[in-house]
A and B are shown apart, each in its own frame.
Chain A
Amino acid sequence: MTCLEAQDLLAGFVAQALPEASRAAVSAHVAACPSCQDAARRVRTAWEFLGGLEFPPPPLDLRARLAAVTVPALAPPPPPPAPPRRWRGGIVLALLVLGAVPAALWFRGAFRKPVPPPPAAPPPAPDAPALTPWSHGGEGVLQLVAVPGAEIWAASGSEGMLDEAAGRLHLVEGTVWGHPLAGEMLRLDVAGWPVTVTRGTFTAEGFGGTASLTCHEGFLRIDLKPEPLAVPEGTTVLLMEGKPPLGPRPSRSLYPGSPGRP
């Protein structure tokens, strides 16, 4: 391996992102080459300098702003397009003609026999789940919405079902992501049912089901298990308080299961 080849791979070497064979080759070359040792030291210094970088939090209305322009499942349906102006006169004329035909048939007695009304057309199936269907029961999308000021900003669309007669809330497994500050109390609203969580790594069995909260690579993750719940509306459930993770915040991994970078 030449110096040029080794130095091109130095970033991957420092990031531990190289395959094993390449990593061994770069390591052997750097150990024997003073020039590449100096380059590796510089790269490593810059790498560590970036360790304390914090990106600005996303705007609190990010979800709404994106839903307005991108996600059809979250955006209200667009109004039907108005017919072109030049056709409007033709449409009115056609309606008049269509109305005149039944009138003429009525005069001829064709409509004296009662005709059963046509079956009502079924309501069009909604192509997107409504976001707030919980007040009247039925199936819907469970939303976890952070109160403004909290940093939780994204929640997965977990499916759930509310059985109002039985007073039970059935949750289907889902995941919520957040990024709270250490020790910060966050107030979440689960489809109108307030839930209070604190940062930590724990599993709580609070309300007939299981809610697992974990801190993973700087993110709070809430996993809801498909267990029936019996929570009266308006109940505030305090899940077990956990300890904030120790040590420096690890870098995030793009791929679950891959080792974190130093």
Chain B
Amino acid sequence: MPSPLEEFGRPAWEFAWGYTGRTDAGVAALARAFRAWESSRPPREEPERRRAFWRTLADACRQQVSACPPGAPESTDPPLARVLCLPLELREALLLLRFHGASAEDLGTILGCPPEVALARARRALMRIALAQAMPPP
């Protein structure tokens, strides 16, 4: 069985980074997720397997941020900075929907809430970004 890094690769890194906003915190979150994944008995069939992994990763990112809040984000790239300013619950929904192509059902499973709630979070995230775009730069 390949390691989670080999199986899920760069998307897992990007989610961890997008969640934490820093390289060191992203690596720590990935390590936390991989430890949890390997100590569990994940499903073997797709798409349940991937959903289970992303749920594990989202949980690990949450735990990492709550246990050790990362410092200021490393990136000042405008779109990325807008994402990193979002509250975590909105950010995770947006990351999964926008950058990893999750369906509504996937979102609900991964985030542990009804799909409508997850989509509403993503919509609020997008509305905040739209609002920030409409405002003049400081």
Whether B123 lies near A254 (C-beta < 8 A) is: no
Chain B stretch 84-138: residues in CB contact (< 8 A) with chain A: 93-94, 96-107, 115-116, 119-120, 122-123, 125-127, 129-130, 133
- Interface size in chain B (residues, C-beta < 8 A): 58
Given that A55-B14, A70-B38, A71-B3 are known contacts, is A62 also in contact with B27, CB under 8 Å in the complex? yes
Main secondary structure of the interface of B (DSSP, over half): helix
A129 vs B69: C-alpha distance in the bound complex, in angstroms?
Answer: 36
Chain A stretch 235-262: residues in CB contact (< 8 A) with chain B: 251-256, 258, 260-261
Nearest chain B CB to A63's CB is how many angstroms away?
6
Of chain B, the residue at the smallest CB distance from A218 is B10
Nearest chain B CB to A74's CB is how many angstroms away?
7
Whether B79 lies near A50 (C-beta < 8 A) is: yes
21 contacts between A and B (CB under 8 A): A8-B120, A9-B123, A10-B126, A11-B97, A17-B104, A17-B107, A42-B126, A46-B129, A49-B129, A50-B82, A53-B79, A66-B5, A66-B30, A66-B34, A69-B35, A154-B5, A156-B2, A177-B10, A251-B99, A253-B101, A256-B46
Q: What is B's interface to A at a CB cutoff of 8 Å?
A: 2-7, 9-11, 13-14, 17-18, 23, 26-27, 30-31, 34-35, 38, 46-47, 50, 54, 74-75, 77, 79-80, 82-83, 93-94, 96-107, 115-116, 119-120, 122-123, 125-127, 129-130, 133
- Interface size in chain A (residues, C-beta < 8 A): 54
Given that A10-B123, A46-B127 are known contacts, is A254 also in contact with B101, CB under 8 Å in the complex? yes
Nearest chain B CB to A21's CB is how many angstroms away?
12
Whether A56 lies near B23 (C-beta < 8 A) is: yes
Closest 10 pairs (CB-CB, A-B): A11-B122, A253-B101, A11-B123, A46-B129, A70-B34, A46-B130, A53-B79, A254-B100, A8-B120, A42-B130
Chain A residues lying within 8 Å of B30, measured Cβ to Cβ, are 62, 66, 70
Whether B104 lies near A58 (C-beta < 8 A) is: no
Whether B99 lies near A53 (C-beta < 8 A) is: yes
Nearest chain B CB to A215's CB is how many angstroms away?
13
Whether A55 lies near B127 (C-beta < 8 A) is: no
Whether A7 lies near B123 (C-beta < 8 A) is: yes
Whether B98 lies near A219 (C-beta < 8 A) is: no
State whether the Cβ of A157 lies closer than 8 Å to any Cβ in chain B: yes
Whether A260 lies near B101 (C-beta < 8 A) is: yes
Q: What is A's interface to B at a CB cutoff of 8 Å?
A: 7-12, 14-15, 17-19, 22, 39, 42-43, 45-47, 49-50, 52-56, 58-59, 62-63, 65-66, 69-74, 153-157, 177, 179, 219, 251-256, 258, 260-261
Nearest chain B CB to A162's CB is how many angstroms away?
20
Q: Out of A58, A177, A254, which one reaches B96, CB within 8 Å? A: A254
